[in-house]
Amino acid sequence: MVLSDSGASVIGNLDLIDPFEIRPVPIAFPAAFLVDESGIVRYQYVGRAPEDRPRTTLLLLAAERMTRQN
C-alpha cells in the first residue's frame, strides 16, 4: 500500500520535510517504511536528497525478511 500525505501532517510529525526544497507545499525527503499487521515499523529508509531512494530489491528483501519473522 502506498499512502499520500497531501496535508504534510505525517511528514511533519516524522521530521521528513526537506528544509532546502523551495515550493509552496512541503516536500518530504524520500522515505520508505515497511509496517507489519500490528502497525509496528519493521524497516525504514530515509534519504537526504531527491535521488537518494532505496532500491526496489532492497525493499523486497526487507519485506521478505519481515514476513519470515511473523
Res. 1 pLDDT band, cuts 50 70 90: low
What is the count of structural domains for the chain? Answer: 1
pLDDT, one tens digit per residue, over 16-45 is 988 888 888 888 888 888 988 898 999 999
Q: What's the confidence (pLDDT) of residue 57? A: 93
Cα–Cα dist 27/39, whole Å? 24
56 lies in some domain? yes
Position 1 in a domain: no
Kindly report the three-state secondary structure assignment for every residue of 11-62. HHHCCCECCCCCCCCCCECCEEEEECCCCCEEEEEECCCCCCCCCHHHHHHH
pLDDT confidence of residue 20: 86
Q: What is the pLDDT of residue 70?
A: 62
**Torsion, CA 2, CA 3, CA 5, CA 11, rounded to 10:** -80
2 located within any domain: no
45 in a structural domain? yes
Asked if residue 19 is part of any domain, the answer here is yes
Report yes or no on 3 lying in a domain. no
**Whole-number percent of the chain with pLDDT over 90:** 21
Structural domain range at position 58 = 9-69
What's this model's pTM, rounded to 2 decimal places? 0.72
Q: Three-class SS of residue 3?
A: coil
